[in-house]
Each structure stands twice: as C-alpha cells, then as structure tokens.
Amino acid sequence: MEKFSTGREVRAAIRAGFRGPTAAFAPEYVQANLVAVPAEYAAEFRSLCARNPVACPLLDESAPGATGTALASEADLRRDLGGYRLWRDGRLAAQSAGAREFWRDDLVAFLIGCSFTFEYALTRAGLPPRHVVLGLNVPMYRTNVMLAPAGRLHGHLVVSMRPYPADDVERVAAITRPYVEAHGEPFWSGEPGRLGIHNLATPDEGDAVPFEPGEVPVFWACGVTPQAVAIESRLPYVVTHEPGHMFVTDRLHSERPVA
C-alpha cells in the first residue's frame, strides 16, 4: 500500500497519476466526499445537509464555478480526487480520472465529511477496519432509510460497513462518536435486514469483506448518500467523487469540532 503523510502529498500523487481508495492515507488529516450541483440547487442541497447532518456533515461550500476550497491550499477539486462521476437526470453518464471536461461555471461544490477520517483513531486503538487491513475499498450499501427531504431533493441513506466482534461495538462507538464531521458513531449494528440490506457479500459500492466468527456488521452513515439523492431526485447535472476516492484536506483531526 502506498504511504502518504499529508493531504498535500496525496493530492500531488493523484495529480501524478495515482489511483485507488484513500483509506489509511495521510491518517491524521480529514477526508471529504465531493458533490457539485448547479447553482439553482445549491440552497436546497445546503438545506439537505442541515436537515441530515449525520449523513451529510457539511465541511465547505464553494462559490459557483470555483474549483478551490478553504480546506486545502492550492487545491483543484477538478483533479485532486482519484476518480469522478457525472450524473445526468439521475443516471450515471460518465466516469473519469479528472473532472475538468465536465466542470461548469454554474457548479457549486460541497465537501461532505467522510468516515475514513476516524479510521486512524480505530487503528490506534487496536481496532483497524477490515478493508484497511486487506487493502480494499470499504463496502457501502443503499438502505431503506429515507432522508429528510429539502425542496426538490430527496433520497435514501447510504451506509458504510465494518465488521467487529459484538463485544467491541460499544468501544468502537465511543471512539468514533466525537468525529461529528465524519458521521460520528455507528448508525446501526447487527441485523442488516433492518436497513433493507439483504446480502452483505454484494455491496452497492466498494468491496465485500470477510467476517470472522463472533463478528457483527457495524454501519455508519456514508457521504456517498448525495449520489443516491442525485439518482432519486433526477438532478439534471451533478459531479461527484468515485466512492472511496476521497479529497484529502490539509485540516488535521485536532482542528475538527467535536460532539
């Protein structure tokens, strides 16, 4: 696995051609999901984040057409993530290593907190996530849980999953709870059918991970949720990140707000 110490190093590697999930990269730095919507939808998307802060913790919002962010110096949101998706009318229209060709002057970029941010704390506590150990992308699942709608925007919650021994779930929750910018404590643990997830071996995004005896699935709200919103709301034009290929900021964990 590649090793990067800072967000700047990760972004430089991506500009040089590196591709792959960013779990465990620059472990002391906050990671973020990207969603860019036409300016006419920006107020509604901002409201969606406010009404669903666990699923969509808002870290930053750009001016229309802007490609930088206060979260990282000299950043370019069109090329500093390892993969991008373009959605048209709720359908996936393109996937690309860069977004310059589909960035528009009316796009407002939102950076949403990512659970990769708290994996450093889990690893330091001797509870490394299985996908990190195996060098995989975290498994993500669409659920039957509806978001609180905002204007024309609506959709279902997406969750990420990490298996842990049942006896460790409370400890895992306590470790991740303070990371309010990264979805915080687990949304659910145990029977996945309660979330409408019927087969953990076939995630909607990412890679399936094996379970050890005595382990249960532990689910966190996921910043891929806005992609479900783009699909279900049939937004005419949306640019998002490739799930697991995050924007790694210059913000240290120590600078984050806590619960």
Is the distance from CB of 6 to CB of 26 less than 8 angstroms? yes
The pLDDT score that the predictor gives to residue 192 is 98
Query: What percentage of residues in the chain have a pLDDT greater than 90?
Result: 95
Q: Which two tokens stand for residue 179?
A: 């990371």
- Residue 52, C-beta contacts closer than 8 angstroms, at least 6 positions apart: 147, 148, 225
Where are the domains positioned within the chain? 7-115+234-252, 118-221
pLDDT class of 256 with cuts at 50, 70, 90: low
Q: Note whether 7-115+234-252 and 118-221 share their fold.
A: no
Q: Tell me the pLDDT tens digit for each residue of 101-131.
A: 999 999 999 999 999 999 999 999 999 999 9
Q: Mean of the pLDDT values across residues 175-194?
A: 97
The pLDDT of 50-55, averaged and rounded, is 98
Among 3-7, 50-54, 62-66, 88-92, whose mean pLDDT is lowest?
Answer: 3-7
Indicate the CATH number for domain 118-221: 3.30.2040.10
Residue 253 has a pLDDT of 83
C-alpha distance from residue 70 to each of 61, 73, 76, 165 (Å)? 9, 7, 11, 39
Region 159-183: mean pLDDT is 97
Dihedral sign (CA 20, 23, 28, 33): positive
- What's the rounded Cα separation, in Å, for the pair 148 and 221? 14
The pTM score is 0.95
CATH class for the domain made up of 7-115+234-252? alpha beta
